[in-house]
Amino acid sequence: MTTSANAWLPDLYRSVENLLLHKLRSLLTMLGMIFGVAAVLSMLSIGAGAQQQVMAFIEDLGVRNLIVEAKETTDRQVWAKVRQQSPGLSFRDVRAMQASVAGLEVLSPRKRFTPTRLVPKSQGDTPTVYGVDPNYLSIGGLHVIGGRFFTTEEAAHADAVCVLGEAARLNLFGVDDPIGRYVKVNEQWFRAIGLAGPQAVAQGDVAGVPAQDRNNVIYVPTASAVLRLEDNNSSIRDEIDGVYIRVRPDADVTAAAATVRGILTASHRGADDYALVVPAELLAEQQRTKRIFDIVMVALASISLLVGGIGIMNIMLASVLERTREIGVRRAVGARRTDIVRQFVMETTLIAVAGGTVGLIVGASLSRAIASFAGWSTIISSGSLLLAFSVSVLIGLVSGVYPAMKAARLDPVEALHYE
């Protein structure tokens, strides 16, 4: 142990002294590694944040769920053309699914629209009204954090009750408790009986599921939405605009999806006026995409850091020429080739380690700044830190081997006479 330390410590001190002797050159050499590591870490953190957000949204949709989304339009000419072929999504489709889908556990239709008038006035984006059945509580994975969800009896009687999503509550009542208070949607008053907990939200459309802040929602019974609320576009909209289906744990989700697709194909006469979303398939696809993304990021890491490694090799080759007489003196007084190799490799390792460490700090700061200013979700994982740092050190080591070998092969006599 002592012998090993005696062999390494002098070379370590000598390497540090040489790097400090040429501070500017050492710093410029490190810049390639610093920027490479920072770029890799920030890209990985942004990619991981975006992937996690989408994955959380898909998982929140429910891996045992099926979602049917109507493709509606406000263009009357397009609507009229589609209606010549298809009657649109309706309660008739819901009854057919209830009777035909094997393994069906629960089902809920949905009637959705944006109100034109709200009291209290919304302080942010106008909440969307979701007319759903009580079954939606389990299908949508809703967590009621205050009050309760409406009952089957209230839904059957089309009672004027509602449950507020987290963002809808803040937009209408701020931090006040809304339970027992009233919300006027268009010309109809609804009594708030519950508060729903936060749900994952996607930044854009995900495979047929439209972009929608699912926290900025007012939930009412389906019958209440149909019978009590006036929809300004009702003349060109489907009877319902969505269906949520949950199958039993022992059921085949793919087979259930095929049955639903067959029902809709028959009733809509092949018209492409709906989208069937299978979260389980989306989740599997996203996992495959994530694996490919990780591989691409590793490749990018290698390419970007390779540039820094080339810079290190270039500087070290110049250093070999500059220190030829020093190498000759060391060989003349008994230094072995392995000693020369160790010294130069140690210098490149120090450059790579220092550059990688500073690069991690810069990359972490950059990803935090991007998250703060752009509003993007970023995740700095231990894996991304380890990957960026390990690749930088590995490339630093490899870049130092050739200059070190070249220095070690110098003839001592010629090196002493080198000018």
**CA 317/CA 407 separation, integer angstroms:** 9
Asked if residue 82 and residue 50 are part of one domain, the reply reads: no
- Per the structure, how many domains does the chain have? 2
- Provide the pLDDT for residue 193: 96
**In terms of DSSP bridges, do strands 161-164 and 217-221 run parallel, antiparallel, or are they unpaired?**
antiparallel
C-alpha 79/C-alpha 72 separation (Å) is 8
Q: Are 245 and 308 part of one and the same domain?
A: no
How far apart, in Å, are the Cα atoms of 165 and each of 1, 195, 228, 235?
65, 6, 20, 28
- Model pLDDT, residue 211: 59
What residues make up the domain containing 11? 2-57+285-416
pLDDT score at 411:
66
If asked whether residues 38 and 114 sit together in one domain, one would say no
In a domain, 260, yes or no: yes
Q: d(Cα 5, Cα 20) in Å, to the nearest integer?
A: 22
pLDDT at residue 54, rounded to an integer: 67
Asked which of 272, 303, 336 is the last residue of a domain, the reply is 272
pLDDT of residue 7: 59
Answer yes or no: is 361 within a domain.
yes
Say which residue the tokens 């050159």 belong to.
25
| 170 and 265 both lie in a single domain | yes
Distance CA 348, CA 350 (A): 5
The answer for residues whose C-beta is within 8 angstroms of residue 396's C-beta and 6 or more apart is 33, 308, 309, 312, 348, 349, 351, 352, 353, 355, 356
Residues 331 and 368 in one domain: yes
Asked if 113 contacts 245 with a C-beta cutoff of 8 angstroms, the reply is: no
Is the same domain home to 127 and 21? Answer: no
Output the six-digit token pair for 322. Answer: 């500059």
Q: Which of 215, 243, 272 is where one domain is finished? A: 272
Residues 207 and 293 in one domain: no
Whether 64 is covered by a domain: the verdict is no
CB 202 within 8 A of CB 54: yes
**CA 61 – CA 208 distance, rounded (Å):** 12
Q: Does any domain span residue 279?
A: no
Q: Are residues 50 and 76 in the same domain?
A: no
The residue from 242, 272, 302 where one domain ends is 272
Phi, psi (degrees; rounded to nearest 5) at 190: -120, 140
DSSP string computed for 165-218: -HHHHHHHHTTS--TT-EEEETTEEEEEEEEEPP----SS-BTTB----TTSEE
Which residue, 66, 68, 58, is CA-closest to 106?
A: 66
Q: Burial of 101 by CB count in 10 Å (0-12 exposed, 13-18 middle, 19+ buried)?
A: buried
Q: What span, in angstroms and rounded, lies between the C-alpha atoms of 146 and 144? A: 6
Identify the pLDDT of residue 254. 87
Closest by alpha carbon to 283, among 58, 2, 42, 106? Answer: 58
Residues 268 and 289 both lie in one domain: no
Integer Cα distance of 19 and 142 in angstroms: 60
The per-residue pLDDT string of the chain (419 residues; one tens digit each, 9 = 90 and over) reads 444 455 567 767 777 777 777 778 778 878 878 888 888 888 778 777 767 766 666 666 667 888 898 887 777 788 788 888 888 899 999 999 999 998 899 999 999 888 989 999 989 889 999 999 999 998 888 889 999 999 999 999 999 999 999 999 999 999 899 999 999 999 899 999 999 988 866 555 555 555 567 889 999 999 999 988 866 556 677 889 899 999 898 888 889 989 999 999 999 888 888 888 888 777 777 778 777 877 777 677 667 777 777 877 877 777 777 777 777 777 777 777 777 777 778 888 888 888 888 888 988 888 888 777 766 777 887 877 887 888 788 887 787 777 777 777 766 666 555 55
DSSP string, 207-258: TTB----TTSEEEEEHHHHHHH---TTGGGS-S-SEEEEEE-TTS-HHHHHH
Tell me how far CA of residue 8 lies from CA of 13, 254, 341, 346, 407, in angstroms. 9, 63, 12, 9, 18
* Residue in this structure with the two tokens 């290190």, named with its chain if needed: 312
pLDDT for residue 31? 83
